[in-house]
Homo-oligomer: A and B are copies of this chain.
Amino acid sequence: MAPKREKKRANLRDVARVAEVSVATVSRVLNSPDVVQKETRERVEKAISELGFHPSAAARAINSGRTKIIGALVPTLDSDIFALTIEAVENRLEDFGFSLVVATTGEDPDKEAKRAKELLDIGAEGLIMPGTTHCDALYDLIERTRVPAVVISYYDPAFRYPTIGYDNREAAALAMSHLLELGHRNIAVVHGPAQNNDRTRARVAGVATDRADVQLTFLETDLTIAGGTDAVKQASGESRVFDAFLCVSDVQAFGVLFELQRRGIAVPDDVSVMGLHDLPGSSSTFPSLSTIRLPAQKMGRLAAEGLAKWVESGTRPSPACLPNALMVRESTAPSRLKAKRK
């Protein structure tokens, strides 16, 4: 048996040897095939496929300085809230030849900085992250490395990095005004943890009203279905009777719907429920959920596009505020209390 040479991945020099050309020619076949004579090119291509040659991204990256990797920092993927957007980002980045590395941070600011550093260590050429509330270590890092970074899910044209998102405050205000128009005056506002979360804070701020006849009760629970059910439990402990639940996340609204059903409280006859996000399932609940449609996927695509172009050609994207839309469905109706008042 012939002593098989240890098999290792073929490199450019191997290909050059087999095709009896120089390394430069092989490189040209890979990068600008048109300048190579057809005959030579075919010989090289044959050698490439014979050897199963596969250019090393690392070696390429060392020259070009390009890794074609974008990093995303997200709190969690365990609800549809980010997963949908991340998928859109990933899909759009692919069109630009970029790969997406996802790092989950669990809302922990310190972990966020640590993960960001890891992303840059592996050569991420751009970062994408939701919201503007991050720790200084992260900002320092971005400043030092001058890596293009875009913020999603939030809009603030004055922010240090381009924000490509939506107006959380306006979304919440839109939801609130819908409820007010329906005559609701005693409203439970269900929201997720506000700490370190500008989106939640903006939404909470957005529901504010100076109408003296409106009573708002804020209930902070987890950003989960269970959090929604908890909110109803909390609400039932209050002395006040609510005529509407405004959940600033659809996920919580799902929980609210379930828990109200459990308690035999009819939606929207006894109480209205309003969401905010418009998840894929929100139109299929019972009753179907009135909500504010956030442009989650469109935002993901736009952010991916802006970041890709920024990395490629240095043109920093301008901040963008994508429109929200009120989706009136079955879960909201004129207040019973209002009717009584009449």
Contact = CB atoms under 8 A, between A and B. Distances in A.
What is the oligomeric copy number?
2
A209 interface: no
Nearest to A111: B94
| Residue from A91, A261, A281 having most chain B Cβ neighbours under 10 A | A281
A284 B103 contact: no
A280 to B, nearest CB: 6
Contacts of A115: 94
A52 interface: yes
A68 to B, nearest CB: 7
Interface stretch (A19-27, A79-87, A126-134, A176-184): A79-87
Contact of A87 (B62, B77, B91, B118): B77
Given A86-B77, A99-B119, A259 B280 contact: no
Given A86-B77, A99-B101, A225-B284, A120 B258 contact: no
A57 interface: yes
Interface of A: 9, 52, 54-59, 61-62, 65, 67-69, 76-80, 83-84, 86-87, 90-91, 94, 99-104, 115, 118-123, 144-145, 224-226, 228-229, 254-255, 258-259, 261-262, 280-281, 283-287
23 contacts: A69-B101, A69-B122, A77-B77, A77-B83, A77-B87, A79-B80, A79-B83, A80-B80, A80-B83, A86-B102, A90-B102, A90-B103, A94-B115, A100-B102, A101-B102, A224-B281, A225-B281, A228-B284, A255-B284, A258-B284, A261-B261, A261-B286, A262-B286
